[in-house]
Amino acid sequence: MELPLSPSTFQAATPLESASIPTNLVRRELLKRALGNPVVNRLPTLIPLFVMGYAALGLAARDLMLALVSLQILTIVLTSYTAIRVTEILTEEQKSRKPETNAIRLWLFFELVSGAIWGLMIAATAESGQMTSSNTTISVTLIVTVSLAVIVAAEARGLAKAMLIGFAMTSIPVTIYHYEHFGSYVLLAVCLFPPTMYWLADRLGKQAHSSLQTEMENIVLNQKLSEALSISEYLSAHDSLTGLLNRRDFERVTEELRSRNRLGELAIIMVDLDNFKLINDQYGHSLGDDVLRTTARLMQSQLRDLNISASSENAVARWGGEEFIIAITNCSAEDVVRISEQIRCILEGYQNREWPRGVKLSGSFGSTCWHSNEPLNAAIKRADKAMYAAKSAGRNQTRFASFVTENASVSRVRQL
């Protein structure tokens, strides 16, 4: 069985930390949301323009009003076109790159022009002289449209700011110029409208920023939590030193292997490193740990290269101390003996120049076949008995325990 993670996972495991989303990423996402579908989002703006254009037919200055309505439609088309380009830039996957500012500046410029045109429409109502139903319709529609546009654009404060600046640049001078028609109250209302709406847009923008940042942080935290749970499951099932399965999970995995191969032969190999206690006592536990890790790596490497059958599966675990255990599916008695000897020879022939000269790697192997009509524990005990027979016979050799009704008979394996 391949390890999903390396043993370094244990050293790299750290407590789950809170996520921190950079402000520029939050603003970028807010801008994307404010843009949405640039064409579709602009279509509702045409409704008040048609209403104002129809109402303008009753004005003395209808030519001016209709010209401004036409100019605003053209501006909407240009704004939508540049907004499409901005959307394409923002959806690029190159997160590290700063978005192309020229397209954004051009887009905001058209938004400013749009706001300025809305402000100029006040002039058309003043030119008619008296207050009529057409004037009232245009004025109410104008204020409602600008207010809604600013509120909708509040997520992207730069957008709302550009629109209000454009509106203020034209509406205030026009109202001052036609002071005799509008009077002081209208002038005061027009002067207070842009800063009031900007304050409201700023509040809404900050709320949207905070809400989105929390949402993005929660997404990142959920991803980290999912990764942490995966690592936790791995850590609970594997030995922290070698990265192999631990004893408990080996039993579970081996039972699963048996359930998938009920009619096939399944072999068990027990391995005990020779003279490991002397290595620990003489050279220290640091070298002993390195010997255990090396053994695990060599066994895994050899098991990956098994030449049994395409459907063969295996599981390898650290059984305890210097003992290891291996389970192999679709493996006959002849195959398990051959594999045991191959691994034993690999261990015996291994050399590490960084180890002291007196350190030699070898192991005593006990193998058996696990039959479907017996519990796993019985097969492990039989393999363990064969392993101790190998140690008693002089170590660094393999013994095979055959299945017998009452007792296991241990046979000597001729070393390859």
Catalytic residue set: 322
Chain centroid, CA 98 distance in Å? 22
Quote helix, strand, coil % in the chain, to nearest 5.
Answer: 65, 10, 25
Residue 317 — φ and ψ, nearest 5°?
-145, 160
Identify whether the C-beta of residue 382 lies closer than 8 Å to the C-beta of residue 333.
no
Token output for 140: 């109410």
Amino acid, single-letter form, for residue 272: D
Identify whether the C-beta of residue 243 lies closer than 8 Å to the C-beta of residue 296.
yes
Place of tokens 């990265």: 243
Closest CA to 267 of 357, 163, 382: 382
Identify whether the C-beta of residue 328 lies closer than 8 Å to the C-beta of residue 267.
yes
CA distances (Å), origin 263, targets 133, 181, 253, 328, 372: 92, 99, 17, 14, 8
Place of tokens 């940042």: 213
Residue 266 belongs to what H/E stretch?
Answer: strand 266-273
Can you say whether residue 132 is alpha, beta or left, with left for phi > 0 and alpha for psi between -120 and 50 degrees? beta
> Which residues are within 8 A (CB) of 297 and not within 5 positions of it... i.e. 6 or more apart?
none
Can you say whether residue 49 is alpha, beta or left, with left for phi > 0 and alpha for psi between -120 and 50 degrees? alpha
- The burial class, CB within 10 Å (0-12 / 13-18 / 19+), for 311 is exposed
Token output for 35: 């843009």
Cα angle for residues 389, 390, 394 (degrees, 5° grid): 115
